[in-house]
Amino acid sequence: MLDCYRDVNGRSTLLKIIMLTTENSKIPVSSQVEEPLVKRSIDFIFQALLPKDRLFYPLFDQACANMVQTARVLERALKSDSVTRIQSFETINHLEKQGDEITHAIMRETGNTFIVPFDREDIHALAIAIDDVVDYINGTSKRLDLYKVHIITPEMIRLAEIITLSAIELQSALKEMRSLRNVRKVKAHLHTINTLENEADRIMNDTIAAMFRNETDAMNLLKMMEVITFLENASDKCEEAAHVIDSVVIKFS
């Protein structure tokens, strides 16, 4: 059953064009030669009736590209000297504003567009999660700048690497999601994001525990904890976006 077109309220408008060729056709399905042909014909009909979105996926592509670029700038900043780092923070702030504009465009079109590629609540949740990744990256850069954090630890660098890797996997999963024939590839990307997020959780917990054991400067402890937490939250939001994609794939599988 095809459940691919939706009305303005998000309710499914079912095009019940199910297997017209199996019950009513005169194709001899018992034939081993013709069975695959029937299946291919049904697959072709199914793919032909999926909404050919030329609006939302390009906007999501822009959002993901902006997210990946922001993550890469942060990673390079943490691996650079303090002067380069400050310049990178300005770039991140600019990218965050670009991300907001893309998110607003997605929200606006969700309300104005009659046919959407998947559920409106999923479009909203995915757009917000991607935007939140960029927001937390920007929040990390602001705290590094405002708190004058000059010592960049290996744990911070690894968390930044995880965010970049997760953002790239999320971008790839969204591209593969356009076709239902790529479900396995989508699932593989989502699994990788989950694995990376688990690593981020472990790094955050171990780092905070070590700081409470060894750090004697309470002010420095609070600053470092907040930076580490913001980095881990960015990783969390990547996984949150992955959960939305997983939900969409399940609904259309």
- Per 3-state DSSP, what percentage of the chain is helix, strand, and coil (rounded to 5)? 75, 5, 20
44-53, 80-89, 121-130: least confident range: 44-53
- Domain boundaries in the chain? 2-49, 56-252
- The closest alpha carbon to 100, from 150, 74, 63, 141, belongs to 63
| pLDDT for residue 99 | 95
Q: What is the pLDDT of residues 22-70, one digit of tens each?
A: 344 444 444 444 455 545 554 444 444 444 456 778 899 999 999 999 9
Which residues are CB-neighbours of 42 under 8 A, at least 6 positions away?
19, 21, 22
Bridge pairing between strands 2-6 and 12-15: antiparallel
Q: What is the token pair recorded at 215?
A: 């750090």
The amino acid sitting at 38 is: V
CATH classification for the domain delimited by 56-252, as one of 1.10.10.10, 3.30.950.10, 3.40.1190.20, 1.20.58.220: 1.20.58.220
Global pTM reads 0.77
CB atoms inside a 10 Å sphere around CB 216: 6
